[in-house]
Structure 1
Amino acid sequence: MFIQNEKIDAAELAGMDKQHSLHPWSDLATNQSEDPLVLAEAEGIHIRDAEGNQYIDGIGGMWCVQVGYGRKDIADVMAQQARQMCYYTPFGAMTNVPAARLAAALAERAPGDLNTVSFSTSGSDAVDSAVRFAHFYFNCLGKETKKQVIVRMDSYHGSTYLTASMNGKRRDWSHFDYARELVHFLPSVNAFRRPADQSLEDFAAEKVADLEAKILELGPENVACFVAEPIQASGGIIVPPEAYLPQCLEICRKYDVLYISDEVVTAFGRLGHVFASENVFGIQPDIITCAKGLTSGYIPMGATLYSDRLIAAISGDKAVDHPYFTNGYTYSGHPVASAVALKSLEILEDEKILEQVRETGPYFLAQLEKLRDLPIVGDVRGMGLMACVECVVRKVGAEPGEEDMAVAVRVDQHAQDRGLILRPFESLCIMSPPLIVTKEDIDRIVTILRDSLIATQDDLIAEGVWSPSDAA
C-alpha cells in the first residue's frame, strides 16, 4: 500500500518549485511557465503524484530503481546504519565497515582483475575519477603527453566539467564551456542510421576503424583512454554490433590506450548481470564505472573499479616520488550508502532478479517489436530492460529533422495521461522500468505506448503536418 500522507496542495508545491528550483536540463525559456509534475509516493513499479494520479514508472526513476520502490528492508538498513554510524571521513588510511565490505563484494563480481575500488557520489563523479586516474597513471609512468580522451557521438558520461565535455548528444551542447581540447568524438554507432546498402558487418568494421584512425590521427603517445558505454543509454539505447566492443578493446591494447567501460546504466541487473562488460559483451576493460543501480536509487553513490595491472604499475616500489592519489569526495564510501548498496546487491541475487531480467528482457523487446506496424515507428531496439522506440516523421532511416525532434514529447504526454512515464528525447521514447517488472506489467506498458503512438499520429494528421505516407 502507498503511504498515506497529509493532504498535499499540488498547485502550491508547483508554484514553490517554479519560483525556487533550477532543475537539471531545464529549458530556461519555459521553466517559469510550465508546471512540474509533483511526485509524492512510490511503491513497486508505480509512482503517484501529489494529486493522487498513479503511473507505471517506465524509466526506473532514471535507470536507477532496480529492486522497486518502497522496500522496507532497504529502509531498515538505512536507518540501522545511520544509528550505528552515519558518517566518517574516508580520506587517507581510514574506512568503515560497510564500505570495506562493499569494495570486496564489487571486486568479487567484477570481470578479470578489476579488484580496486574508489567510491564517489554519482556516475558523473565515477567517470570523472576514471579519466583523472588515466591521466594520473600515465603521468606516474612518465608518459605525460597521454592526455587525450576519445568518446563517441550519442554518448552520455556525466555532468561535471570534464564529463559534460565528453557527452556526444548534440542537443545537450548548450551555452556552457567544454574541454574540447581534451575530448574527441567518433561517429555514432547507431546502425539504424547507416546507409541502406551497407551491411551490419561492414558498418561494424567501419566503426572499429574510426577508433584506430582517431588514435593514429592524435598520435598514440597522446591518447590516454577510450570511454564507452556498452549500450549508449540516454543517447537512444544504441546497441553496438556484436563484434564492435571486443575489437575496440584490441585496438586500445595495441596502442596502450586505457579502455574505460562506462557501466553507470548497464551494471546491477539492467542487462541481467551485476556487470555487463564481460558477461554480455565479452570484454575485460581496464576500468569500469558504475552508479545508479548500485544502490537501486535509494541514496546517491558511484564507484570506479581499476585493474590490478594498472594499480601494480604505479604502487609500492614502483611508486616514484610517493605519488598521492588526490582524488575523492567528502562522501566517498559513505557508510549509509555502502550499507544500502550491499543490501540492494543481496536482493538482486537472493531474489533471483538477475535471472528474472534475463527472462523478461527478451519478452519486453519482443512485445515492443510489434509496434513496428505503426507508420510513426522507425526503429525498435534494446537489450535486457533497456529499450527505445524511435519515431520518424520523415522517411525511415533518414537523419532526423526538426519535425522529429519534438515528437517523443507528444508521445510522453499521451502516455502520462494514460498512466505511464517514459523518457522522451528528440524522436526517442526511452524505457528502463524497474527490474521487478513482470510480463503482465510489460503488456500494460506496451499497450499504453501503442495507444500513445496512435494518438500522436492522429494529432500530427489533424494538424496537417504529417501523413503515414511521409514515413514510408
Structure 2
Amino acid sequence: MNLNMNFAEVRQVTERKAGQRSTREWQALDAAHHFHPFSDAAALNAQGSRVITHADGVYLWDSDGNKIFDAMSGLWCVNIGYGREELAEAAYRQMRELPFYNTFFKTTHPPVVELSALLAEIAPDGFNHVFYTNSGSEGNDTVIRMVRHYWASLGQPQKKTIISRVNGYHGSTIGGASLGGMTYMHEQGDLPIPGIAHIEQPYWYANGGDLTPEEYGLKAARELEKKILELGVENVAAFIGEPVQGAGGIIIPPSTYWPEIQRICDQYGILLIADEVICGFGRTGHWFGSQYYGIRPHLMTIAKGLSSGYQPIGGVLVHDTVAKVIAESGDFNHGFTYSGHPVACAVAAENLRILKNERIIDKMREDVMPYAHQLWHNAFDDHPLVDDVRTLGFFFAVTLVEDKARRQRFANGGELALRCRDICFQNNLVMRATGDSMISAPPLTMSRAEAREFVGLAKKCLDQLARELGRL
C-alpha cells in the first residue's frame, strides 16, 4: 500500500481487499478462529458476525455495503470521529522513527514526554503526573496497586479496602471486574477479590421511591459513609466511581450526589478516584466528568477518548498530593511492557491537539449538544414505550417501561432491549442495550444534520418495537 495515499484512497484499497472474500467467508473464518468479548460464542457463530470494513465521520460500512450510523463511538471511544488522517500520519511518522521502546530501566522517549506534558496542561489543577497503561481495565488495576502502595508508604498498610458501587463498571480484568459491581461478571471467576466493597448506585428512577431526586442523591451518597463506618475508617483506602455510569446504563446521578460524596471523602480522609474512561475527553461537554460535577479527585483513570480509539492506550492521572508520596517511597513495582508505547502516545497527543485546537468540546457543548438534547426529548418524552428519558453531554438514553405513571418496568425488559438493539442494527443504527435501557454516545463531532438523522433513526427503531408490542 502507498503510505502517501489519502483517506479516500485507503478506503478504496480496503474495499477491494474486503471484496476478495465474501461476507460469508469472513463470517466463517471469524467463527472458526475468533473469540469475541462478552459474547455467547455458539449463538454468535450460528448467526454470523457483522463485518465492518471501513468508517468515516460518524459512519461505518459493512462488507455488504451498508452505511451505518455509529451512535456508540465504537465503544465510547471515537470522540473526534472516524477517518482523521492526522492520526494515521502521526502513527506512521512515529513507526518510522521509533516504533517501540519501553519506559523501564531509566529510559524515556519524546512521545511519552510530550503527551504527559499535554495531559498536565489539559487536566484539572494539581494533576501533573500520569502512569500509562494500555486500557481502562489496566488503569483500574493500577489504581488498586497505587492506592494500597500510597497508604503503606504513609505507615497505614491496613488501609486496603476500596469502595465501589453496584452496577458500576471498571473493566474486565480481575481487579477491574472486582471494582465493578456487575454480578454477572462476579459469577465467573470467584469475584470480587478481597478488599473490595460495594454500595448502592445513585439511580433515582429505579431506587428512589417517593423521594425527590435531590433527597435520593443524598441518601445514596450517605451509603458511602455507612460503609466506611461499618468497615472501619482505618481500613478504607478509597472510593471509586464513574462521574456518569456508562456501561451500567448511562446512570446520571442527582445533583446532590457528588457534592455529598466529596464531603464524605474529605471528612474521613479517604482517596477519591474518578473513573474517567468514558466521561473523559469531552463526553460530558467538559474535558473531564469531574469538572462537570465539581469533583476534586486524587486519581483519575483515563483511556478510550484519550486516543479516540485510534490506538490502545490508557493511564492514571495522579494528583500532586498522591504523586509526592509515590515518588518518595522507593520503587513502585508495577508496569506493563507497553506502558507509554511511543506510537500510541504520538497518536493520543495528536488527538488531544485536534480536540483542543478545533475547540471540538466547546462547539459541541455550545451548539449541537443542546440541539440534540431537545431533539431527543421531543422524540421520547411522550413515547408510549419509554420513560426516564435522559441526556447529558453526548450521552443519550431511555428506559423501556410497561407503566410510566407507576415507573413500572417490564419483567423481561432486558430481552426487549436486546430485541430493540437488533432492530437498530437492521436499520443501520448502532445503539446499545444495557439492562432495560437503550443508550448511545455518538462522536463529539456529530453535526446538527447528523443529530437529526440519529434521533430519527432511534425513534424509528423504538416505534417498531412499540408496534411489535401493540403499544403503537
TM above 0.5, yes or no, is: yes
What is the distance in 2 between the residues matched to 1:211 and 1:397? 29
Larger helix share, 1 or 2: 2
Instruction: State the alpha-carbon separation in 2 of the partners of residues 60 and 103 from structure 1.
Output: 25
| 2:469 is equivalent to residue 456 of structure 1 | no
CA offset digits 1:339-398 (Å, max 9, x no partner): 111100111111111112202222222211121222111211131111211112355665
Matched letter for residue 242 of structure 1: S
Deviations for 1:272-298, whole angstroms, at most 9, x for unmatched residues?
2222312x1112210011000000110
1:390 equivalent in alignment to 2:399: yes
C-alpha contact 1:109 1:275 (8 A) present in aligned 2: no
Matched, 1:424 2:423: no
Pair 1:373–1:404, CA change in 2 (3 A): same
Percent identical:
35
Q: Distance in 1 between matches of 2:289 and 2:434?
A: 25
Distance 2:332 2:325 in 1: 14
Structure 1 residue 154: deviation in Å?
Answer: 1.9
Structure 1 residue 32, shift from structure 2 partner: 3.1
TM-score by length of 2: 0.93
In structure 1, C-alpha distance between the alignment counterparts of 2:204 and 2:449, rounded to whole Å: 31
Distance in 2, Cα, partners of 1:418 & 1:315: 53
**1:334 alignment partner, one of 325, 336, 341:** 341
Q: Secondary structure at the match of 2:469?
A: helix
Aligned Cα root-mean-square deviation (Å): 1.7
Structure 2: 5+ residue stretches without partners: 1-7
Q: Distance in 2 between matches of 1:13 and 1:286?
A: 46
Note if contact 1:234-1:430 (Cα within 8 Å) is conserved in structure 2.
no
* 1:272 and 1:356 in contact (8 A); partners too: no
CA contact (8 A) 1:193 1:399 kept: no
2:255 aligns with 242
Residue 86 of structure 1 corresponds to which residue in structure 2? 99
Distance 1:104 1:200 in 2: 40
Residue number in structure 2 paired with 1:403: 412
Q: Counterpart in 2 of 1:294? A: 306
User: 8 Å contact 2:222–2:260 — kept in the other structure?
Assistant: no
Amino acid at match of 2:415: A
Shift of 1:169: 2.9
Hey, what does 1:32 align to over in structure 2?
45
The whole-number CA distance in structure 1 between the counterparts of 2:183 and 2:409 is: 12
Q: Does 1:193 align with 2:201?
A: no
Q: Which amino acid aligns with 2:394?
A: L
Q: Given that residues 107 and 114 in structure 1 are in contact (C-alpha distance below 8 angstroms), is that contact kept between their aligned partners in structure 2? A: yes
Aligned-partner SS, 1:326: coil
Unaligned 5+ runs, structure 1:
462-466
Partners of 1:205 and 1:73 in 2: how far apart?
46
Partner of 1:434: 443
Change (3 A) 1:404 1:314: closer
Q: In 2 relative to 1, CA 18–413 (structure 1 residues): closer, same or farther, beyond 3 Å?
A: same
One-letter amino acid of the structure 2 residue matched with residue 152 of structure 1: R
Once the two structures are superposed, the pairs formed by residues 253-268 of structure 1 within 5 Å of their partners are 253-268=266-281
**TM-score computed with the length of structure 1 as normaliser:** 0.93
1:195–1:39 Cα change, 3 Å: same
Task: Summarize the Cα distance change of 1:221–1:23 in structure 2 as closer, same or farther, 3 Å threshold.
Answer: same
Question: CA 1:261–1:161 in structure 2 vs 1: closer, same or farther (change >3 Å)?
Answer: same
Q: In 2 relative to 1, CA 397–15 (structure 1 residues): closer, same or farther, beyond 3 Å? A: farther
Task: Choose the corresponding residue for 1:76, options 89, 97, 100.
Answer: 89
Comparing 371-380 with 433-442, greater Cα deviation is found at 371-380
Indicate the SS of the match to 2:279: coil
Does 2:193 match 1:163? Answer: no
For 2:276 and 2:319, the matched residues in 1 are separated by 15
Between the aligned partners of 1:298 and 1:229, the Cα distance in structure 2 is 23
**Secondary structure at 2:44 match in 1:** coil
Report what 1:251 is aligned to.
Answer: 264
